[in-house]
Amino acid sequence: MHKIIIEGGKELSGEIKISGSKNSAVALVPAAVLCDEEVTIANVPNISDIDALDEILNHLGATVTRNDDMIKIDSSKIENKVIPEVISKKLRASYYFMGALLSKFKKVEMYFPGGCSIGARPINLHLKGFEALGAKVQEKDNMFVITADNLRGAKINLDFASVGATINLMLAAVKAEGTTVISNAAKEPHIVNVATFLNNMGAKISGAGTSEIKIVGVNHLHSCFHEVVPDYIEAGTYMILASIIGKKVTISNIIPDHLESLISKLEDIGVPMEIGIDFIRISAPDKLMATNIKTQVYPGFPTDLQQPMATLLTQAVGKSIINETIWENRFLNLNELNKMGATTELLSNSKAVIVGPTKLHGKKVKATDLRAGASLVIAGLVADGKTTIENADYILRGYEGIVDKLTNVGAKIKLEQSNE
């Protein structure tokens, strides 16, 4: 385990270059096993979730070469082995091997995936979709056995526009016989990125990025080169930070269109921004104004930025209400923020109120999940004095080089081994 130690209260300025998207890369890597030849994926973030997927690929017998942000995956010799529970529990995205291996071998045996504890995180929509494609799903002792004589295209309507289910069903359907239509599909940029990757390999997918995705099954997927889309959640996290203590902080290598809901909120809050083709430059205003946030599926306000935003709202004048509609357990950062001097209160599992501005003071706090960790990093940088964030490994799951990136813009931050 690691801890992050921050000496807060320093103004930040300079450039933060955004890495490839975690939630895209964690789907693209499992998707690569669908190809019988070598594929190359560039702009892959160097985060621990990718290390865990690399471990799974090695276990299955793939040849994986990683060089900086480039990963080459040759799955031509992989075997259909059970992925050990210790590895599949390391991250949520291990579930993408369900769709990919089901498509490749017509059989997959896998344990329930892991991931941050931010809610119940069922996978019923994934399983229901596999069944619609002709698979049989059996569940026993936390293990799923999914088999199919033949996968056939089907019409699948998702009860909820789930990111994971949409991607997993694209993976399962890509080589199915006939046409699959997924309606009420998720529309996040990573859905488009995964569909483009599969199309680069020869798949026939249209409509990704809209609520209806059509997949015409193909027999063969070939070698290709593909690039991970920039991480709009990483970008948004640093935009929120810059809005509180930034002086001309440039967040570069981004697609500003992916950040429209955050940009619009920051405008309401009073943050001036210069928006370029692939960058946003932010200086903190004298005064931040309270606002209300309701998390929604893309293009609504992303749940993954809700916790970082909570830290900003502790510095805004007035009362802000946060309504979290996606996950049931995404307010665990508020207790830690209160320890640092914030005034926040949970109104229900899905609603919290924050009254600001309150001065934050460095304290010893604990990250309970990835984005709660990001919320505390922001708080530590804003606070006076020393903040120690325990359980920092959560943060390393999703933010490439966070300590170096923040040091480069003037933060006093370090990563150390923790004995706790």
* Tally of CB atoms within 10 A around 353: 17
Alpha carbon separation from 248 to 155, 283, 412 (Å, rounded): 49, 5, 18
> Segment contacting ligand EPU (CB under 6 A): 58-66, 112-120, 245-253, 407-415?
112-120
Contact between residue 169 and residue 161 where contact means Cβ atoms under 8 Å apart: no
Q: How far is the CB of 14 from ligand EPU (least distance, A)?
A: 25
Which of 32, 101, 110, 116 does the annotation list as catalytic?
116
Residues 135-164 that bind ligand EPU (CB under 6 A): 160, 162-164
Q: How far is the CB of 163 from ligand EPU (least distance, A)?
A: 4
Residue nearest to ligand EPU (CB): 164
Contact between residue 357 and residue 221 where contact means Cβ atoms under 8 Å apart: no
- Can you tell me which of 121, 152, 248, 319 binds ligand EPU, judged by CB under 6 A? 121
Q: How far is the CB of 276 from ligand EPU (least distance, A)?
A: 26
Establish whether 116 is a catalytic residue.
yes
Residues 347-406 that bind ligand EPU (CB under 6 A): 370-371, 398
Contact between residue 367 and residue 387 where contact means Cβ atoms under 8 Å apart: no
276: exposed, middle or buried (C-beta count within 10 Å: 0-12, 13-18, 19+)? Answer: exposed
- Can you tell me which of 31, 78, 156, 326 binds ligand EPU, judged by CB under 6 A? 326
DSSP letters of 173-215? HTTSBSEEEEES----HHHHHHHHHHHHTT-EEE-BTBSEEEE
From residue 69 to residue 108, what is the string marking binding to ligand EPU with x (rule CB under 6 A)?
-----------------------xx---------------
> Segment contacting ligand EPU (CB under 6 A): 82-90, 118-126, 211-219, 343-351?
118-126
Q: How far is the CB of 297 from ligand EPU (least distance, A)?
A: 7
DSSP letters of 347-388? EETTEEEEEE----B--EEE--SHHHHHHHHHHHHHSBSEEE
Residue 264 tokens, joined: 């619009």
Nearer to ligand EPU, 95 or 279 (CB): 95
**Angle 306-308-314 (CA atoms, 0-180°, nearest 5)?**
100
Nearer to ligand EPU, 41 or 370 (CB): 370
- Give the whole-angstrom CA distance, residue 93 versus residue 95: 5
- Give the whole-angstrom CA distance, residue 262 versus residue 256: 10
Residue 167 tokens, joined: 């991607």
Q: How far is the CB of 318 from ligand EPU (least distance, A)?
A: 27
Q: How far is the CB of 137 from ligand EPU (least distance, A)?
A: 12
> Segment contacting ligand EPU (CB under 6 A): 122-130, 239-247, 250-258, 386-394?
122-130
Residue 334 tokens, joined: 């508020």
- Can you tell me which of 2, 7, 85, 119 binds ligand EPU, judged by CB under 6 A? 119
Residues that bind ligand EPU (CB under 6 A): 23, 26, 92-93, 116, 118-126, 160, 162-165, 186, 303-304, 326-327, 370-371, 398
